[in-house]
Structure 1
Amino acid sequence: MGKNRLEAFSDGVIAIIITIMVIEMRVPHGEDLAALLPVLPVFLSYVLSFIYVGIYWNNHHNMLQASGKITGGILWANLHLLFWLSLFPFVTSWMGENHYATVPTQLYGVVLFMAAMAYFILQQRIIAAGATTLRRAVGRDWKGKISPVLYLIGIISSQWSPAVGKLLYLGVAFIWLIPDRRIENLLMDSKE
């Protein structure tokens, strides 16, 4: 299988994930701005998850551009990542509907943690298949190493303060929003 087919499949699944997340948001009852207050936690959860899905989509694209051949291990690792991403609509809705209660916030963190682990496994499978450009670009990968630690701290701290967990999840998203040009730059250099 070529990487274009894998990328197209993944793009389709990610588009469906975003669609499901937005469909889960309910229209408020009422016509004034005060009617929006009860749905604000759901909307904010959606925004955070949309950012996360966008980060994964962007980095997934860059990572596949750096890959050479697609192996069976890469296919399974990609499905593993898509599985965890497919849980975003559920945990997003549950956390928002319950106004960031302890267990939904913790489960949201578990899904974030597992998606990060699945992404790491996919990255390692691609590197093992001979993607030397990706191996060089990843380097020490401080973002990839600190993110799961922050997710775990967020999951644990949510036991006492879901707000702290939510802030940690938001903090990781901001870390990843800062563009990481390592892969793009190496790909551009290799094409010249």
Structure 2
Amino acid sequence: MALPFRRESEETDRLLALSDGVIAIAITLLVLEISVPELPPGTTSEALQAVVFDQWNQFVGYTLSFLVIGLYWTLHRRVFVYIEEHNRGVLWLNLLFLLFVAFVPYGTSVFSTYPNAFGIAFIAAVLALTGLSLALLWLYASRKRLIEEGLTSRVVTIQATRYLVSPVVFLLSIVVATVDPGWAVLTWLLLVPINAALNSRLVESIEVAAEEADSSETD
């Protein structure tokens, strides 16, 4: 019979269920931060339209946070695709990641209320810390050899780079926000091409590793 701590290290279902639940709640809370404007009876459609359009900062904050949390969920899922077992370090680092994820709706609310240099820097800092905690989780798991055997160092490195890209971009936007808040928001768009390029390289590296493994077995 397997030792209790051994069975516990191989049980990841509850860890993933907790993670998915927290992420789902955080995403749901984002839309609750968008308030419907209250106008007196008889308000014209033009006036209502103007008020709704004035909430652009709330829509931007919601969309940004939703997409980033979705990206982090995707990367988090990728982490546990490769993690075959875990220890207390993985558990606590995963909880640290969830701590920041749960804080994202508040950061979004600050940005929506104050879409200035401070608000932009605040939400960027929250999202950067969330990404850094996920990168730390991957680096720890790979260093402790808790990930799937056979992953090449190139794959591990590309994965680590993917986890670090988002925090770097958000930290960069904090610097840019001190000069021009508008450009700081546009800086976030860099995440799209960078992540696409890294994902392409990751897929290519995995395919090359699989081909090399097949050829070695044939020989």
For normalisation by structure 2, the TM-score amounts to 0.75
User: Matched residues in 2 for 1:72 and 1:125: separation?
Assistant: 11
Tell me which of 123, 133, 136 is aligned to 2:138: 123
Task: Report if aligned partners of 2:132, 2:163 keep a CA contact under 8 Å in 1.
Answer: no
Identical residues among aligned pairs (%): 26
Per the alignment, residue 20 of structure 1 pairs with: 29
1:118-157 alignment to 2 at 5 Å?
A: 118-127=133-142, 128-131=144-147, 132=149, 133=151, 136-140=154-158, 141-157=160-176
Instruction: Please name the residue that 2:99 is paired with.
Output: 83
Residue 51 of structure 2 corresponds to which residue in structure 1?
A: 35
2:62 to 23, 46, 49: 46
Change (3 A) 1:7 1:138: same
AA partner of residue 179 (structure 2): W
Q: 1:91 to 1:120 in 2, by over 3 A?
A: same
- For 1:29 and 1:82, how far apart are their aligned partners in 2? 34
Provide the C-alpha distance between the structure 2 equivalents of 1:18 and 1:95, rounded to a whole number of angstroms. 16
> Alignment partner of 1:87: what SS?
helix
2:15 to 6, 30, 46: 6
Distance in 2, matches of 1:145 and 1:9, equals 23
**2:4 match:** none
TM-score, length-normalised on structure 1?
0.85
Q: Which has the higher contact order (CA 8 A, sep 6+)?
A: 1
Q: In the alignment, which residue of structure 2 is the partner of 1:105?
A: 120
CA distance in 1, matches of 2:75, 2:67: 12
Q: Which deviates the most, 168-177 or 118-127? A: 168-177
- Residue 125 of structure 1 aligns with an amino acid whose one-letter code is Y
Q: Which has the larger radius of gyration?
A: 2
Measured after TM superposition, the shift of residue 20 of structure 1 is: 1.2
C-alpha contact (below 8 Å) 2:72/2:131 kept by paired residues: no
Distance 1:22 1:173 in 2: 23
Whichever residue aligns with residue 79 of structure 2, its letter is M
Cα distance, 1:173 vs. partner?
A: 5.0
1:151 Cα shift? 2.1
What displacement does 1:186 show?
A: 4.6
Supply the AA of the counterpart residue of 1:64.
Answer: F
Give the 3 Å change call, closer, same or farther, for CA 71–79 of structure 1 in structure 2.
same
- 2:72 corresponds to: 56
CA drift at 1:75? 0.4
Q: Unpaired runs of 5+ in structure 2?
A: 1-7, 40-44, 215-219
What CA distance in whole angstroms lies between the structure 2 residues aligned with 1:130 and 1:142? 19
Q: What is the rounded CA distance, in whole Å, between the counterparts of 1:175 and 1:61 in structure 2?
A: 19
Alpha-carbon contact 1:109-1:169 (below 8 Å) kept? no
Give the deviation of 1:96 after TM superposition.
1.4
CA distance in 2, matches of 1:97, 1:121: 31
- Contact kept? 2:96, 2:133, Cα under 8 Å: yes
Unaligned 5+ segments in structure 1 are none
Change (3 A) 1:135 1:85: farther
Q: Closer, same or farther in 2 for the Cα pair 1:104/1:177, shift >3 Å?
A: farther
